[in-house]
Structure 1
Amino acid sequence: MPTTLLHLEDRLTRLSLIPAIGGSIANWTSKQTGQPLLRPSDEQALASGSPRRLACYPLAPWSNRIAEGGFECPDGWLALEPNTDHDPYPIHGSAWQQAWQVDEHSSNHARLSLNSSLPFAYRAEQFIDLCDGQLSLRLRVTHLDANPAWHGIGFHPYLPRTAQTQLRALAQTVWKANGNTLPEQQRAIPPDWNFSQLSRLPNDLVDHAFTGWDGRCLITQADAGYELACEVRGADYFLLFCPTGRDFFCFEPVSHPINAHHLPGKPGLRLLQYGQSIELEFRLSYQPLTG
């Protein structure tokens, strides 16, 4: 698979994109220190052809897993097959598994697009901007199928994790999952997963959706000398994925919880008619730490 990189930079940071691999970000680093602000992608990762080895990729037209082999739309059942070899459920939509095209590119801006027919017709656009250390990612998806369908969107960033990594993200409840990684009900957030104050990440596995989020988070990397202040527009949920014994974690702003297509009321999903759109914007602001 081609690994042509698209480069952006501002006064403080550098960014590389790889449109051919899921419209993904490959690297985002500090100019002054060279520190990776997202999980770095080496040559092996780039050559893998998989967004799951890179730094960040878009989620459309849904996030995370869908059970029962598909979901119901107004015109009938939409059947879905598993789209990876590591998960029994279709996961993360279809945009991340297709090549995107470059519509605009300057020193600090890019616009990527994808015209997809899977699992129904839609157009996805990413607007990527750098300015004074702030990375702005905006995802817009427009439904282009004659029949209406449920949509959800998000971003899937991988972030460096060390013993000193801390997170602050205020939420109200968590969707507890069963043994098949699918949620059963909303519950109070347990103390180890409560990030209303800046806290270390838990040592046990976390792979859950949090709701009632205020759209802000802070990630501090004290040993690397920086923090990321994040803001989101268009998402009331975040997914936190903390695998055990790994040097990364994922903080994913998303428009809906896991398996929302089969939860009561389809929380966070949007039923789009032809020509209607859904948007989400994710801003990450890099700030060197002092003292």
Structure 2
Amino acid sequence: MSAAPDTLVELRHGARRVLLAPHVGGSIAAFDESRDGRSIDWLRPATPAALAARDPLGMASFPLLPYCNRVRDARFCFDGALVDLSGDGNAFAHALHGNAWRLPWRVGDVSESRARLHFLHEPSRDAARHWPFAYEATQDIALDASTLTVTLSARNLSDRPMPFGMGHHPYYPRTRNTRVHARVAAMWHSTPDLLPTHAGPHPSVGAMASEQGMSADAFDLDNNFAGWSRTATIAWPDEARAITLSADAPFHHMVVYAPASHPDLLCVEPVSNVADWINLDVDRALKGGAVLEPGESVSAKFAWTTRVENSAGAY
């Protein structure tokens, strides 16, 4: 079973539903469920306008390949050569999130509760294909009674080593009562244009580790966090519900995007590298990222597990 290239793919498990938008950067467009006569959005759903515009930034979550977050001035040196991404069609001053989120993915096998999406990048003169290394990627997406699991896989198809990072960019419903719970070692402080400078203390670190968690409105954040335990919970205590993000290695890094200027936006993202890792002069263990040899593959999964409090006060 497969879907037309410009249509949504629906996965279902009981009252739970996931909508995929392969043509919008391989995005997840919605993750929701019906319970006790109400609809619960676990991720911020894409609007009809965002779907019509094919805007990945308006989706519920989208993949980050072949790197996460920003690359300073859209340039870096690798293996003795300058890689210039300034002409790749990215509208940002610093190249952002790679190219897979801005190109369509192909739908592979689909069943009632599972789907596989495929992506193939071949360098060319086309703007969005300016990344000079060939690679392929898949997303295996599976829905069950409690969890939505995504397995990201990629393989270097080039005849030379390729710098690489991956992640996903989920948006969560943000209210005045939304709380974020996580254990991290430090926050990456950054320049005004959001390039990291150093990892160090920040009040958000303690707030997320506290029993009550960090209010999504507590700080103006668009930051990477180091020493993440690879699990984070977003909770809506007034709605008696929570969703927990858990991730495998190499998703050793976490991004929190909770901008004061946009109080409706909240992202807690599993990523394998900090912003601008390829230009950052620190130990690889601190900044993440990888180099894939020709033909080398990498695969890792992350998952969202949902909880709704019952009448007895337990999840």
Alignment TM-score, normalising by the size of structure 1: 0.94
Among candidates 98, 101, 123, match of residue 96 of structure 1:
101
The answer as to 2:238 corresponding to 1:238 is: no
Q: Superposition pairs for residues 1-291 of structure 1, below 5 Å? A: 3-32=6-35, 33-81=38-86, 83-85=89-91, 87-117=92-122, 118=129, 119=131, 120-191=133-204, 194-197=207-210, 198-234=213-249, 235-244=251-260, 245-264=262-281, 265-266=283-284, 267-290=287-310, 291=313
Q: Deviations along 1:140-168, whole A, 9 cap, x unmatched?
A: 11111112111000000011000111111
Structure 1 counterpart of 2:168, one-letter code: F
> In 1, distance between residues paired with 2:77 and 2:293?
15
Structure 1 residue 191: Cα displacement: 4.5
Q: Is the contact between residue 10 and residue 20 of structure 2 (CA under 8 Å) also seen in structure 1?
A: yes
Deviation at 1:31, TM superposition (A): 2.2
Query: For 1:157, what is the secondary structure of its paired residue?
Result: coil
Deviations 1:108-164 (A, max 9, x none): 000001001231200010000001120001111111111211100000001100011
Report the Cα offset of residue 229 of structure 1: 1.7
Contact preservation (8 Å) 1:45, 1:53: yes
Distance 1:195 1:204 in 2: 11
Cα separation, 2, equivalents of 1:258 and 1:129: 29
Q: More strand by proportion, 1 or 2?
A: 1
Give the letter aligned to residue 286 of structure 1.
T
SS at match of 2:50: helix
AA in 2 matched with 1:11: G
SS in 2 for 1:175: strand
For 1:147 and 1:70, how far apart are their aligned partners in 2? 19
Question: Are 1:141 and 1:277, in contact at CA under 8 Å, matched by a contact in 2?
Answer: yes
Percent identity among equivalent residues? 28
Query: 1:51 offset after TM fit, Å?
Result: 0.7
Distance 1:188 1:98 in 2: 38
Scaled by the length of structure 2, the TM-score of the pair is: 0.87
**Alignment RMSD:** 1.6
Contact 2:47 2:58 in 1 (8 A): no
Structure 1 gap segments, 5+ residues each = none
Asked if structure 2 preserves the Cα contact closer than 8 Å seen for 1:13 and 1:29, the reply is yes
Counterpart secondary structure, 1:194: helix
Report runs of 4+ in structure 1 exceeding 4 Å deviation.
Answer: none
Range with greater deviation from structure 2 (104-113 or 12-21): 12-21
Q: Give the 3-state SS of the residue equivalent to 2:52 in structure 1.
A: helix
